Structure 1
Amino acid sequence: MSTVLCVAAVLAFSINLRAGIVSLGPVLGQVRDTLKVSTSAAGVFTALPGFAFAVMGWCTVPLARRIGLSPALLTGGTMILTGLAARPFLNNYWPFLLLTGLAVCGIAVGNVLLPAWIQSHAVQNQRLLLMTIYTTVIGLSASVGPLSAMWFGDENSWRAVLGVWAIPAAILVCVWLVVCLRIGSGDLPHPTSAHSSASEQSMWSSPTAVAMLVFFSLQSAGFYTQIGWLPQLMMDRGVEHSTASVALIVLGFMGVIGGVIMPTVVARIRNITPLAISITLLTMTGWVGLLWNTAAAPLLWAVLLGLGGFSFPLALALLSARTRSPLVTARLSGFVQPYGYLVAGAVPLVVGVLYSAVGSWTLILSLLLALGSIQLLASTRCARNVTIDKELELRATAHSSHMAI
């Protein structure tokens, strides 16, 4: 497949992986008033992505094995388009919730399968380019999504704010229709007989896969805690509202930079263990700064946390860097991301409960530092230059030998 079509396919899907979700936040109050629901009922929309990502993460790989990677991604894109295009016309809570869930489930399909599609269809010199586009544009999608709230100003603007993101979703479906016509359905190859037993081994039997699960989970939990609670934490500790808002912008900007840099770093550096450790230590240093004296240098702490956020594109790049076959890449992605997003949703919830119960950030920041220590240990394992395919093959061989005895 041509480089132009590969780039268009990855770009079209990546720009839709966050914008349709984050665009809801700035107009959530308007949506709540229109739907005539309580704040807690509207709050379900904020929890929906994490749980939908988890559930669909477990369902997506079986779907791709049945119908193929490209048709499964086209299906996900169609779900995104249907949800984003239809929900602005609704005035009832449950249909709106179901269509939002449909769009989020389509996004989850892309989260899991796009790295495997790149592994399957990109030649060696294309993979770095496509992974860089993927990791960068995800961050860009998260950054530009809320901007649609600034483009429309009338009192019922939420319909336009949300509906405008159906346009890139429509482009996504058109591009992936072309991809499917070019490729067909059989683009997730079944394992060869030599590796079939390895491909069926549980990901829990691979130490590197488990380490990547822990690493992805804890870095995601830290990021979503920052997005949800950093402004409140800073303001409670003497930082002005405007500065706390700038801190969030810094986090988003650093996420885009990390998306550009990390795939190249992972591809070019043989031993990335020092890098993975350094990134985690930067996050922990940011937490320490907030714990020590938040108001002393709030934007410095935000920069440190943003640099630590390079762990997200690092984790995405490792999905393909630590696997050989597209099937194992898809299985690894479907193993790491569902559990990771469950943890990412649970930790900010726990932070909210502790904040309500204690009213102090000292205990919470200490907890986040403890989680950072666990992430540090996981980073040393998942950064090792090994392939998960090999670990699964060794596990399968050992199992066969045991059965023979």
Structure 2
Amino acid sequence: MPSDPVISRRGASLLGIAGILLIAATLRLPVGALSPLADQISVDIPLSAAALGVLGMMPPIGFALSGLIAPLVARRVGLETTLLLAVVIMILGHVARALAGGYLVLVLGSFIVLLGAGFGNVLMPSAVKRFAPHALGPMTAAYAMIMAVGSAVPPTLAVPLAEEIDWRFSLGSWAILVTAALVPWVLLAVRGARRRARDRAADPDAAILEPDPHRFATLARSRTVWGITIPFTISSISAYVTFALLPVILQDVAGVTATEAGSLLAVFAITGLPLAFLAPVLTARLRTPTVILAASMALFLVGYGGLLLAPQPLVLLWVVLIGLGQVTFPMCLTLMSLRTRSSQSAASVSGFVQTIGYAVAAIAPLALGALHELTGSWAPSLTILIVLAALTIVAMPMLAARGIVEDEVRARAR
């Protein structure tokens, strides 16, 4: 990248790193900020169980749509401008939710803020690839760790803020934190707008994945892309099913109280913190991530198998093992950067993987919940989760070959 008269290359890298960390702190805020306030919101906006269910589906739906849209927008206006747009969209969504006078506006505001967060999710591997190309593992670890911490903050503070002031202030206050991420991305967007044409000319690999109606079909030719997509999807299903259904499952199969089930869900969430730091660094150092995939599969199999066959007295162990099985999520984020040659390609791969992963994860809790209603037992649902975990083995040979996405796409095109 040639020198810039206003911001040097080193200055741009530092701004980019700061921007990545700041935006990472905002990406999970919309997910956990609303549900703890359901009782307070219901006083002004009636929320039935079905209404809450629709709101609960917004995160994976918003993230899946972002996977389709964000890479195309980034191609049109540049990575930096698109991430700036993501921050602005999140601010507008937080404010819209806080000012909502009715249910439809609450849903619309939730969709807007989650769409912005989804843009950030999709483009973070691309941003790491561009601004920290020589520290992909540590940088991915840093932002994944911050995202994990960010997911725990709203559930902790949302109710106290609502009780101290009101639920509208609690929902809207997160817009203030998101605003802090504006500064670096405004500066970088101005710089990127001046130099986007030269960046494209200097990045010949980007042309392989030019956006067109066949973009997904093009990426689907890559074994590596599917090797990332499969464990990402399994991890996403596990995460959304756990947050939506685990407390009920534990009360039914293990006989724990509602309070104990909530504490066990918190244990599941906390387990992800060290994984968010360790997995990217380990992925970057290993020749292939086969060991991580095998470990994840074994952890899921034992964890879900334990809940199915012997839920008591080791219920805490089973929950911890399921939480540790989520190690493939930060692994996949790292591979999106490691197994591509350009930031543009990383964005396209991230979009492909997250669209499929979150689209499937969106319907998984509903499907498994309906299966329970139909059968009167959680055994079929837990069996399905065990089978899905076993499918991780399919991804192992795909990623063991150490393929690069652009090379695979080019070879298949020939």
TM-score, normalisation: structure 1: 0.92
In the alignment, does 2:32 pair up with 1:22? yes
What amino acid is the match of 1:143?
A
Identity %: 29
Relative to structure 1, the CA distance from residue 255 to residue 383 in structure 2 (aligned partners, 3 Å threshold; closer, same or farther) is farther
In the alignment, does 2:116 pair up with 1:100? no
Relative to structure 1, the CA distance from residue 327 to residue 35 in structure 2 (aligned partners, 3 Å threshold; closer, same or farther) is same
Cα distance in 2 for partners of 1:230, 1:215 equals 20
- Bigger CA drift: 84-93 or 318-327? 84-93
Aligned residues: 396
Deviation at 1:216, TM superposition (A): 1.1
In the alignment, does 2:181 pair up with 1:164? no
- Bigger CA drift: 280-289 or 206-215? 206-215
Q: Alignment partner for residue 89 of structure 2, among 59, 79, 86?
A: 79
Aligned partner of residue 360 in structure 1, secondary structure:
coil
1:150-229 matched pairs, under 5 angstroms: 150-152=159-161, 154=163, 157-184=166-193, 186-187=195-196, 189-190=199-200, 195=205, 198-200=208-210, 202-229=218-245
Relative to structure 1, the CA distance from residue 96 to residue 150 in structure 2 (aligned partners, 3 Å threshold; closer, same or farther) is closer
Give the gaps of 5 or more residues in structure 2.
1-9
- Bigger CA drift: 143-152 or 213-222? 143-152
1:388-403 matched pairs, under 5 angstroms: 388-396=405-413, 398=414
Partner of 1:403: none
Cα distance in 2 for partners of 1:9, 1:97 equals 28
Cα distance in 2 for partners of 1:110, 1:187 equals 20
What amino acid is the match of 1:330?
A
Cα distance in 1 for partners of 2:186, 2:206 equals 31
Cα distance in 1 for partners of 2:204, 2:62 equals 35
User: Per-residue displacement from partner, 1:319-371 (whole Å, max 9, x unpaired)?
Assistant: 11111111111110111001110111111111110111112111111111111
Cα distance in 2 for partners of 1:109, 1:199 equals 18
Cα distance in 2 for partners of 1:278, 1:111 equals 25
Partner of 1:280: 297
Give the gaps of 5 or more residues in structure 1.
399-405
In the alignment, does 2:152 pair up with 1:143? yes
TM-score, normalisation: structure 2: 0.90
User: Per-residue displacement from partner, 1:93-119 (whole Å, max 9, x unpaired)?
Assistant: 222221221111101110111211111
Deviation at 1:145, TM superposition (A): 2.0
Computed over aligned residues only, the root mean square deviation of the Cα atoms, in angstroms, reads: 2.1
Cα distance in 1 for partners of 2:162, 2:192 equals 43
Q: Alignment partner for residue 142 of structure 2, among 129, 133, 137?
A: 133
Relative to structure 1, the CA distance from residue 121 to residue 159 in structure 2 (aligned partners, 3 Å threshold; closer, same or farther) is same
Relative to structure 1, the CA distance from residue 286 to residue 191 in structure 2 (aligned partners, 3 Å threshold; closer, same or farther) is farther
Partner of 1:58: 68
Cα distance in 2 for partners of 1:51, 1:111 equals 13
1:311-390 matched pairs, under 5 angstroms: 311-390=328-407
Aligned partner of residue 200 in structure 2, secondary structure:
coil
What amino acid is the match of 2:67?
G
In the alignment, does 2:271 pair up with 1:262? no
